[in-house]
Amino acid sequence: MKDTKIALLGTGANGSCTAADLTRTGHDVTLVDQWPEHVEAMRKSGLKVSMPSEELLVNPNAYHLCDLCSLNEVFDYVFVMVKAYDTKWICHLMEPYLAEDGLMVGIQNGMTAEEIAEIVGFDRTIACVVELSSEIFNPGFVQRNTPPERTWFGIGSLTDDMKHRVAEIEPILLEVGKVAITENIIAAKWMKLVINTMSLGPAAMLGLPLQEALKLEGVKEFALKVGTEALAVGQKRGYSIEPIFGLTKDDIKDTNRLLETLFDKLVADVGPAARDCVLQDHLKGRYSEVDLINGLVAEESKENGASGINNQAVTEITNRIRRGELEPDPANMNIAIELSS
């Protein structure tokens, strides 16, 4: 497998962690990113990943997105690790560099798998769910909160005739964390979206790491309401309930505690000081994925004639933060309660 050519699109926090592990273990991996300073830092001084029990320094093969036209080669596997809202344009850009029998793997939040398949073909697409918490604020340096032993990937195909190719991706991602092959990857991705609705936007709007946010009165109860709305949308779509994060079907058989079980597993795995990707976006003044997570649930709930008021509250507060009308602050919990009452 290590003689295959891999491209990794998007070396933000999780992309950098993945790229570092693949580089360390000898894979032929090319990094492509749109942040010039990060690319230059990796070229000059390497990529440093700090973990709870070790530090990793590698010298990756990094390219700026503008240099893509100079890559006179095709790749066997392309790992897409950009923000969900960047999926379409970057997959269109990268499609000519994917081998005819290659695979594009969407390792992202949100429901991007079918968007990728529509661009490169269902016969060249593998979907993925990931549990990995990391942070990047400075070029060339990543704080990885979830070490390899607590990192988890779920992978699967979108069509039955592609199931035999899923196993090609498993040994590569095993260099980064644990891997499970799922028969129902789209349902599994929705289950991850459900947990993301509960964890990313709600904690970020309070300006706190998830574990700190959950110490505040009413936060977990609000998160469970948010998750219940998201779960209902998934059921309306016809998705089954799938175990993720390394849990088994037995672990989630008590449907009365389904959301709590999944949520508690995530909280335990990410670590006490982890700042989620949405909070990082707030601190950087960037657009986040909340519109494609909580916003999607709120919109579909309305279309279904159901209540998505709690997800709408998270979306509204997040957009106010983006517009500069609010700061991430625990006081935003009071606004969320007002908006959802």
Q: Where are the domains of the chain?
A: 5-183, 187-339
Q: Is the pLDDT of residue 271 over 90?
A: no
Q: Give the mean model confidence (pLDDT) for residues 241-245.
A: 95
Q: Which of 11, 46, 14 is nearest to 32 (CA)?
A: 11
pTM: predicted TM-score of the whole model, two decimal places: 0.96
Q: Are 266 and 150 in contact (CB under 8 A)?
A: no
Determine the Cα–Cα distance for residues 282 and 275; give it in Å rounded to an integer.
11
> At the topology level of CATH, where does 187-339 sit?
N-(1-d-carboxylethyl)-l-norvaline Dehydrogenase; domain 2 (1.10.1040)
Q: What is the pLDDT of residue 1?
A: 64
Q: Are 166 and 184 in contact (CB under 8 A)?
A: no
Q: What is the pLDDT of residues 187-206, one digit of tens each?
A: 999 999 999 999 999 999 99
Share the mean pLDDT of the chain: 96
Rounded to whole angstroms, the maximal C-alpha distance in the chain is 57
* Band of pLDDT at residue 3, cut at 50, 70 and 90: confident
Q: Are 75 and 98 in contact (CB under 8 A)?
A: yes
> At the topology level of CATH, where does 5-183 sit?
Rossmann fold (3.40.50)
* Band of pLDDT at residue 273, cut at 50, 70 and 90: confident
- The string of DSSP letters for 284-311 reads HT---SGGGTHHHHHHHHHHTTS--HHH
Q: Is the pLDDT of residue 230 over 70?
A: yes
Q: Is the pLDDT of residue 2 over 80?
A: no
Q: What is the pLDDT of residues 309-339, one digit of tens each?
A: 999 999 999 999 999 999 999 999 999 999 9
* Band of pLDDT at residue 232, cut at 50, 70 and 90: very high
Q: Is the pLDDT of residue 304 over 80?
A: yes
Q: What is the pLDDT of residue 155?
A: 98
Torsion angle, alpha carbons of 35, 40, 46, 52, to 10: -30
Strands 134-138 and 141-144: antiparallel
3-state percent helix, strand, coil for the chain, nearest multiple of 5: 50, 20, 30
Q: Is the pLDDT of residue 117 over 70?
A: yes
DSSP 16: H
Q: Are 255 and 191 in contact (CB under 8 A)?
A: no
Q: 194: number of CA atoms within 13 Å, CB side?
A: 30
Q: Are 80 and 174 in contact (CB under 8 A)?
A: no
First vs last C-alpha separation in the chain: 54
Q: What is the pLDDT of residue 256?
A: 83
Both structure tokens of 266: 């995530």
Determine the Cα–Cα distance for residues 324 and 319; give it in Å rounded to an integer.
9
